[in-house]
């Protein structure tokens, strides 16, 4: 790699809003590449035949989910004031995206993905008009106690060679805590504390599916937001 003028990296806490919840991880990466070009921030590029900006997500977010604090690591080619970087980027994001805050670190700082230990999710479950708040609350809290008292078996689709196979797995070890926060106006809010590290983590979609199944209401719809990624040390 050619010597860069700076060792600077910027780690940003990134928001993905409701308008763009259905954008995939790959498409979001492409969006970031275009945004840094529009904002003309001094980003570093990879070497090689098809150079690309050195931007990496700590972890991917599933299609359909929103998030308040995804971690993105930007490798800079030149020093830049962090607050200036944030305001330049925020000016050029498509609607629905934004950087809430960012910190500057040096090149020797560990990769943020190695610092991840967990993630906090908010799950908003919608129940139909025919179900009252008390019933919904009872169903969901019973299901939570049921699930948390033993193994949580889910069927996971997995690639085996070329074929997709389904496999039974227990995701209970990946769940630290679940609580029913509120249940009003046909919407129940659950908070889920799950494990997440560089090797993987709680599959929140499968967990919510299992929960609704246990409550006997698998047809209820839900939306997931990743509130924050928990790190081994505060940033």
Partner 1 sequence: MLDKMFKKALKNVEKPARYIGSEYNATIKSDFDFSFALCFPDVYEIGMSHIGAKILYNILNDIDGVACERAYAPWTDMEREMRAHGIPMFSLETKKPLREFDVIGFSLLYELGYTNILTMLELAGIPFYSAMRGEDMPLVVCGGPCVCNPEPIAPFFDCVMYGDGEELIKEFTLACLDAKKRGLSKRETLNLLQKIEGVYIPSFYEPIYDGDGIVAINKVEKSAPDRVTRRILKDLDSAMYIGKPLVPHIAIVHDRVPLEIFRGCTRGCRFCQAGFIYRPVREREMGTLLSQAHMMTDCTGYDEISLFSLSSGDYSQLYPLVDTLVDNFSDKRVSLSFPSLRIDSYVKQSLERMKTVRKTGLTFAPEAGTQRLRDVINKGVTEEDLLSSVKDAFMSGWSSVKLYFMIGLPTETEDDVRGIAELAKKVKETYYSVPRELREKAPTIGVSVSSFVPKPVTPFQWVAQNTAEELMKKQAIIKQELAGVRGIELSYHDVQVSTLESVFARGDRRLADAIVYAYEHGARFDAWDELFKPDVWSEAFEHCKINRDYVAHRDRSTDELLPWSVMDPVVTKEYLEREYKRSLVPCVTKDCREGCNGCFGDRNEDYCVLQKR
Binding site residues, partner 1, CB under 8 A: 18-24, 27, 30-31, 33-38, 45, 51, 63-64, 92, 94-96, 126, 221, 223
CB of 42 to partner 1, least distance (A): 13
CB of 160 to partner 1, least distance (A): 23
Outline where the chain has alpha helix (H).
25-39, 82-92, 112-115, 133-148, 204-214
Contact 94, 20 (CB under 8 A): yes
Q: Assign residue 173 a region (left: φ > 0; alpha: ψ between -120 and 50; beta: otherwise).
A: alpha
- For partner 1, the closer CB: 5 or 151: 5
CB of 77 to partner 1, least distance (A): 12
| Closest to 197 measured CA to CA, from 149, 147, 232 | 232
Instruction: Enter the tokens of residue 188.
Output: 């129940």
| Closest to 4 measured CA to CA, from 56, 80, 62, 73 | 80
Contact 181, 191 (CB under 8 A): yes
CB of 23 to partner 1, least distance (A): 5
CB of 28 to partner 1, least distance (A): 9
- For partner 1, the closer CB: 9 or 21: 21
Contact 222, 192 (CB under 8 A): no
Instruction: Enter the tokens of residue 18.
Output: 């409701």
- For partner 1, the closer CB: 92 or 109: 92
- For partner 1, the closer CB: 44 or 174: 44
- For partner 1, the closer CB: 35 or 59: 35
CB of 95 to partner 1, least distance (A): 5
Residue 172 φ/ψ, nearest 5 degrees: -55, -40
- For partner 1, the closer CB: 43 or 171: 43
Residue 146 φ/ψ, nearest 5 degrees: -55, -55
CB of 18 to partner 1, least distance (A): 5
- For partner 1, the closer CB: 88 or 230: 88
64's CB contacts (< 8 A; 6+ apart) are: 21, 22, 223, 224
């Amino acid at each position: 790699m050619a010597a860069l003028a700076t060792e600077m990296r910027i780690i940003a806490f990134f928001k993905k809003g409701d308008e763009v919840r259905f954008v995939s991880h790959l498409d979001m990466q492409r969006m970031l590449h275009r945004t840094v070009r529009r904002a003309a921030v001094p980003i570093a590029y990879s070497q090689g035949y098809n150079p690309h900006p050195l931007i990496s997500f700590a972890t991917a977010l599933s299609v359909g989910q929103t998030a308040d604090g995804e971690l993105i690591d930007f490798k800079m080619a030149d020093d830049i004031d962090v607050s200036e970087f944030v305001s330049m980027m925020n000016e050029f994001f498509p609607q629905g995206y934004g950087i809430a805050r960012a910190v500057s670190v040096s090149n020797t700082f560990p990769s943020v993905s190695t610092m991840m230990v967990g993630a906090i999710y908010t799950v908003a479950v919608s129940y139909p008009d025919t179900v009252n708040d008390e019933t919904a609350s009872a169903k969901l809290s019973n299901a939570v106690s049921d699930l948390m008292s033993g193994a949580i078996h889910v069927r996971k689709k997995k690639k085996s060679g070329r074929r997709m196979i389904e496999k039974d797995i227990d995701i209970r070890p990946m769940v630290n805590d679940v609580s029913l926060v509120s249940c009003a106006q046909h919407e129940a809010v659950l908070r889920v504390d799950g494990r997440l590290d560089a090797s993987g983590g709680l599959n929140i979609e499968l967990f919510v599916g299992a929960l609704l199944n246990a409550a006997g209401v698998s047809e209820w719809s839900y939306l997931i937001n990743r509130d924050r990624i928990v790190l081994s040390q505060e940033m």
